[in-house]
């Protein structure tokens, strides 16, 4: 297992690289050019700049998260071919600096969705929270109106410029069925995977978060059966997964450890985090410790160890602890603690393996 750590870039993240390199076992950063709009080409000089920054601290930049997909590709519009060509050029440039994995998602309109970014927990820490009933009661068009009238409102993964297009997007997606979205995803993969393979970059789709419909929009990467279908769309090792235990774990019916074993050779990137999910569909993010949530992190780590996982992994989200002021879900302290918990489990499994040999 190769441990990496999410970093949002100089000037876009309060966590300096010299802090990240002090976390035991961390080899690299998971990065992106967050100011580049979805669909645009990534400039080579900007990509090289990130590599130079990471090189100063002996950190690799092997994993990119995300090269965002333009909505026209998801919608299947004629203009999608232009954006797909831009995506191919970005892949070619990322290969020039040694990138090995691109994590991306195919979620319509919104990236991960939460109702509270700083929900207070019993121990006084705060964490990302999803209130199911609140989302169900929201009229998407009323949400658009509210966002347009309140400049302080934001949605995860959405810049103010993109928020202005919400009304049009919701109208466009009214005509898009789940099968349409599957077809549009297949079209994208058939264009992209050969280019990724040529440049030795593995594509790793992230599950939908949460793994069920939000605002009536279709969702695809939500369970074992749908992942099986996804991998068959283009049955190639370069078409793989970012297996996120937190995203998938928000549905109590998902057995993430079983998925690790089932899709072992197609997992290129592991997001390991815990959530506590309630019967009413609410969930809150917790510490990585297995007993603190409803995701069996211990069994998931055992599954990764059993399959001999040598891919990239990160602790994904964490709580906000010790008064830390940080990007929601991305504090330094709890993610650092999470890494040490994961290493502790991994080292124990390694010890047991040696003793049994």
pLDDT of residue 177: 95
Tell me the C-alpha distance between 298 and 215, whole Å.
33
What is the pLDDT averaged over residues 9-33? 91
Distance between alpha carbon 209 and the CA centroid of its chain, in Å?
Answer: 8
The catalytic residue among 304, 316, 320, 341 is 316
Catalytic residue list contains 206: yes
The catalytic residue among 208, 244, 268, 334 is 244
The catalytic residue among 208, 330, 334, 341 is 330
Instruction: Examine the pLDDT at 147 and tell me if it is beyond 70.
Output: no
Greatest C-alpha distance within the chain: 65
Instruction: Examine the pLDDT at 91 and tell me if it is beyond 60.
Output: yes
Nearest alpha-carbon partner for 103 in 196, 189, 181, 202? 202
Angle between helices 178-198 and 80-96 (to 10 degrees): 30
Tell me the C-alpha distance between 167 and 38, whole Å.
18
Judge contact between 113 and 210, C-beta under 8 A.
Answer: yes
pLDDT of residue 165: 72
pLDDT of residue 162: 62
The catalytic residue among 271, 288, 305, 320 is 271
> pLDDT by residue (tens digit) across 224-260?
999 999 999 999 999 999 999 999 999 999 999 999 9
Distance between alpha carbon 125 and the CA centroid of its chain, in Å?
Answer: 23
The pLDDT-based confidence of 169 (bands split at 50, 70, 90) is confident
Structure tokens at 141: 């068009």
- Using alpha carbons only, give the angle 35, 36, 41 rounded to the nearest 5 degrees: 160
pLDDT of residue 138: 72
Catalytic residue list contains 326: no
Answer whether the bond into residue 83 is a cis peptide, omega within 30°: no
What is the pLDDT averaged over residues 199-209? 97
Nearest alpha-carbon partner for 237 in 187, 271, 188, 197? 197
Catalytic residue list contains 317: yes
User: Cβ contacts of residue 99 below 8 Å, gap of 6+?
Assistant: 61, 62, 63, 64, 201
Average pLDDT, the chain: 92
| Domains of the chain, each with CATH number or no CATH | 2-356 (3.20.20.150)
pLDDT of residue 163: 63
């Amino acid at each position: 297992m190769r441990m990496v750590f999410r970093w949002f870039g100089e000037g876009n993240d309060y966590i300096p690289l010299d802090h990240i390199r002090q976390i035991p076992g961390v080899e690299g950063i998971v990065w992106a050019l967050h100011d580049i709009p979805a669909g645009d080409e990534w400039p080579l000089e900007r990509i090289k700049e990130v590599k130079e920054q990471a090189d100063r601290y002996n950190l690799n930049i092997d994993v990119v998260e995300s090269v965002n997909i333009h909505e026209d590709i998801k919608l299947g519009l004629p203009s999608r071919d232009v954006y797909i060509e831009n995506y191919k050029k970005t892949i070619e440039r990322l290969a020039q600096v040694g990138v090995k994995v691109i994590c991306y998602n195919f979620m319509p309109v919104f990236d991960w969705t939460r109702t509270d970014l700083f929900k207070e927990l019993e121990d006084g820490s705060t964490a990302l929270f999803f209130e199911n009933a609140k989302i169900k009661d929201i009229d998407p068009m009323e949400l658009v109106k509210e966002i347009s009238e309140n400049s302080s409102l934001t949605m995860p993964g959405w810049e103010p410029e993109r928020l202005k297009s919400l009304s049009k997007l919701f109208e466009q997606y009214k005509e898009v069925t789940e099968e349409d979205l599957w077809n549009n995803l297949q079209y994208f993969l058939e264009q992209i995977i050969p280019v990724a393979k040529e440049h030795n970059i593995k594509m790793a789709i992230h599950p939908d978060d949460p793994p069920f419909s939000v605002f009536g929009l279709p969702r695809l990467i939500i369970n074992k059966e749908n992942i099986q279908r996804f991998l068959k769309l283009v049955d190639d090792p370069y078409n793989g997964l970012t297996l996120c235990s937190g995203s998938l774990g928000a549905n109590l019916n998902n057995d993430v450890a079983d998925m690790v074993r089932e899709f072992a050779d197609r997992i290129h990137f592991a997001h390991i985090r815990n959530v506590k999910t309630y019967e009413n569909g609410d969930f809150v993010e917790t510490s990585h410790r297995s007993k603190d949530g409803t995701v069996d992190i211990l069994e998931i780590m055992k599954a990764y160890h059993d399959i001999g996982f040598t891919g990239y992994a990160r602790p994904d989200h964490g709580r906000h602890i010790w008064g830390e002021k940080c990007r929601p879900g991305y504090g330094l302290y709890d993610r650092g603690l999470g890494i040490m918990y994961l290493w502790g489990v991994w080292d124990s499994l390694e010890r047991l393996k040696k003793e049994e040999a």
